[in-house]
Structure 1
């Protein structure tokens, strides 16, 4: 089926702790997973009470229903730049989303 909404490839980056022989953390390893998402610009509203820590939303990514991963604490590479996932994104019920995407994920980056 051809979609009229263009999607693009992004990379979900997960950090996992590396452990030594005694089970103590000695660093971390990053894994990258390619996912096709709809990439939309972030909110254009000024910073306010809803974002007290000064986080600006760079993009809102719409993940497909076929994606089953948890995104809390992950980063996402979009257009060659890495952004942090905001919060713990939740999926919308399939019955409420007739299209192929059911999870809106806000990503942000703090420069400076």
Structure 2
């Protein structure tokens, strides 16, 4: 029997704060171990101003132990930064494995 084993990814979440009365955007970084990274479809970008563009996407299965909000976050996979799509929520029922949230991420090249 082969067990699933994930890899380590980095989550970058941005938040707003104030310094000297001025708004500032800062980043919080989380190292997430045992994330399942599954390559998605690589497709050509349909935008007219990006004729050589391509969209690269992954689905990342996050472990139940990671409970931070991922809306607007970034996930770094193998040194490349990807944007989280939407507002992924954990599955609250019938999740017998160590992972309970599938997160779609993408990046556009070109």
Shared fold, TM over 0.5 = yes
2:103 aligned with 1:105: yes
Shift of 1:14: 1.1
In angstroms, what is the RMSD of aligned CA positions? Answer: 2.4
Shift of 1:21: 2.1
Shift of 1:11: 0.5
Pair 1:55–1:46, CA change in 2 (3 A): closer
Shift of 1:81: 0.4
The count of corresponding residues between Structure 1 and Structure 2 is 102
In 2, the alpha carbon distance for the partners of 1:71 and 1:8 equals 18
Determine which of 38, 47, 72 is the counterpart of 1:40.
Answer: 38
In 2, the alpha carbon distance for the partners of 1:100 and 1:46 equals 34
Pair 1:41–1:47, CA change in 2 (3 A): same
2:28 aligns to what?
A: 31
Shift of 1:15: 1.6
1:2-59 CA distances to partner (integer Å, 9 max, x unpaired)?
A: x71120000000122342322x21x3222210002011111467879xxxxx983521
1:8 aligns to what?
A: 7
In 2, the alpha carbon distance for the partners of 1:33 and 1:17 equals 17
Structure 1: runs of 5 or more not aligned: 49-53
Structure 1 residue ranges, 4+ long, deviating more than 2 angstroms after superposition: 43-48, 54-57
Pair 1:87–1:6, CA change in 2 (3 A): same
Report the structure, 1 or 2, having the larger strand content.
Answer: 2
In 1, the alpha carbon distance for the partners of 2:55 and 2:100 equals 23
Q: Provide TM-score, normalisation by structure 2.
A: 0.79
